[in-house]
Copies of this chain bind each other. A is one copy, B any other.
Amino acid sequence: MASLLITGGRVLLPDMSVTQADVLVDQDSGSIVEIGSDLTAEKTLQASNSLVTPGFVNGHSHVPMVLLRGYADDKPLDRWLEEDIWPAESKMTPDDVHIGAKLGLLEMIKSGVTGFADMFFHVPKIVDAVDQAGVRARLGHGIVTTGKGDENAFADVKESLDFALEYDGAANGRISTAFMPHSLVTVGSEYLDDFVPKARAAGIPIHYHANETLNEVTPIVEDYGVRPLDYAADHGMLESQDFVAHGVHVDEHEINLLAEAGTSVIHCPASNMKLASGMAPIQRMRDAGVEIGLGTDGAAANNDLSLLDEGRDAAMLGKLAADDAGAVPAELVVEMMTQGSASALGFHSGVIKEGEPADLAVIDLEKPHLTPQHDLVSHLAYAAVGSDVKHTICDGQILMRDREVLTLGEKSIVDQAQQTADLLLSRVSS
């Protein structure tokens, strides 16, 4: 077998303990073969003074929106969407999505992200970028039917299912798909009733925004007399393979619904703060048995795609939401960034364990801001940043070595993305 030894590092184990060990990877199968000492392999990757962690998994994003990073900040969600984001997105071409996806993938690989979920449009272009970049992804076409005529609405819903059916298993199995209604208030129930059973029959999971703001809750309560997640369950969208983004405004009944259904919540703390959406009750959901992952949301609402940043935000906001400094402790944060998101997305990654996928990040610990090293799990949650990641490995392949991304050309993508973003905004303002 083609083998790779990650050598000299400390390794974060699934129980959140840390041990000095080498990690042997079978590059043909993409799996971890052994965690131990005195191992040999064809190639080695140096991890001395470093922490080997599971690769981080970004559970909810709209990656090509990196092109709009810093374009419009400091506005409430509705005005921000209507005045800035939607007009700009409407001008995005497939080529824009392609370069935006590459830029976002570069940023994610450079911050140790080895897998992500994405909801966007022109998604085959994202497939192509993911194939080249080498990460794992669950991708889908985001559906909006409100404000569209029947024909366009139907075409949009159909595109989401068609994409999911066609591309599931692409990039040697690194790409999986989902059926992705944008939210419960932006997709008509007749379309859900028509298409959700088709996705379910094909084994395709469903991903959507749920209870992000009160504007997503109130209309459903008023129109249907039930809470949004009751409405979701009534339309067959609350199964164990499904995952929802946000879950900010959920009540106790909905928390229990999520726990019983086994539907995961992807927590997006930075976006929830930046758009003043509110504070998701993460510790309460967790205590009730809800599985929680972590996501950055789009860069326009964040403004980065680093899961390490997001983990810190999750710890901070979780304590404030619970009015308890003991809530959302470092171990839970790291679990959300790795196992939690991975499990939500149906990936087998997220833990460093023999037989599991070799999706890994190697963090350089020899930094003033990571000194002293009393507790490396605390450092992951609170002190490490994306630029501390030294190597990124996915599916057994080295995607970044010593901060150089091997699968994507950094300089040319950065230059192209700047040009593309400038042209996009000139089309928006013209």
Of A106, A309, A315, A319, the most chain B CB neighbours within 10 A belong to: A319
Q: Which of A21-29, A272-280, A338-346 contacts B (4 or more CB under 8 A)?
A: A272-280
Closest B residue to A425 by beta carbon equals B374
Q: Say yes or no: A316-B71 contact (C-beta < 8 A), given A276-B323, A303-B382, A414-B368.
A: no
Residues in B whose Cβ lies below 8 Å from that of A347: none
Closest B residue to A78 by beta carbon equals B325
Question: Residue A67 at the B interface, CB < 8 A?
Answer: yes
Q: Say yes or no: A74-B326 contact (C-beta < 8 A), given A69-B383, A316-B274, A382-B303.
A: yes
Contact B421 A374 (CB under 8 A): yes
Q: Say yes or no: A418-B373 contact (C-beta < 8 A), given A75-B325, A76-B325, A320-B276.
A: yes
Question: Residue A230 at the B interface, CB < 8 A?
Answer: no
Residues in B whose Cβ lies below 8 Å from that of A80: 325
Contact B417 A320 (CB under 8 A): no
Question: Residue A128 at the B interface, CB < 8 A?
Answer: no
Closest B residue to A108 by beta carbon equals B368
Question: Residue A387 at the B interface, CB < 8 A?
Answer: yes
Of A319, A322, A368, the most chain B CB neighbours within 10 A belong to: A368
Closest B residue to A315 by beta carbon equals B274
Contact B274 A325 (CB under 8 A): yes
Contact A378 B325 (CB under 8 A): no
Closest B residue to A317 by beta carbon equals B273
Minimum distance in angstroms from A107 CB to a CB of chain B: 4
Question: Residue A375 at the B interface, CB < 8 A?
Answer: yes
Contact B305 A369 (CB under 8 A): yes
Cα(A330)–Cα(B104), bound, Å: 22
Within 8 A of B (CB), among A87-139: 103, 106-107, 110-111
Minimum distance in angstroms from A414 CB to a CB of chain B: 5
Contact B383 A386 (CB under 8 A): no
A302 partner, pick from B71, B382, B414, beta carbons under 8 A: B382
Cα(A74)–Cα(B327), bound, Å: 7
Copies of this chain held together in the complex: 2
Question: Residue A422 at the B interface, CB < 8 A?
Answer: yes
Q: Say yes or no: A320-B73 contact (C-beta < 8 A), given A304-B369, A369-B305.
A: no
Residues in B whose Cβ lies below 8 Å from that of A67: 372
Closest B residue to A424 by beta carbon equals B372
Contact A73 B329 (CB under 8 A): yes
Minimum distance in angstroms from A91 CB to a CB of chain B: 15
Within 8 A of B (CB), among A53-76: 66-71, 73-76
Cα(A77)–Cα(B323), bound, Å: 12
Contact A325 B77 (CB under 8 A): yes
Residues in B whose Cβ lies below 8 Å from that of A75: 325-326
Residues in B whose Cβ lies below 8 Å from that of A363: none
- Report which A residues bind B (CB closer than 8 A): 66-71, 73-77, 80, 103, 106-107, 110-111, 270, 273-276, 278-279, 302-306, 309, 313, 315-317, 319-320, 322-330, 366-369, 371-376, 378-379, 381-383, 385-388, 410, 413-414, 417-418, 420-422, 425
* Apart from A70-B378, A273-B319, 10 more pairs, CB < 8 Å: A66-B371, A70-B375, A71-B375, A74-B327, A103-B368, A110-B369, A276-B320, A279-B320, A303-B383, A387-B388
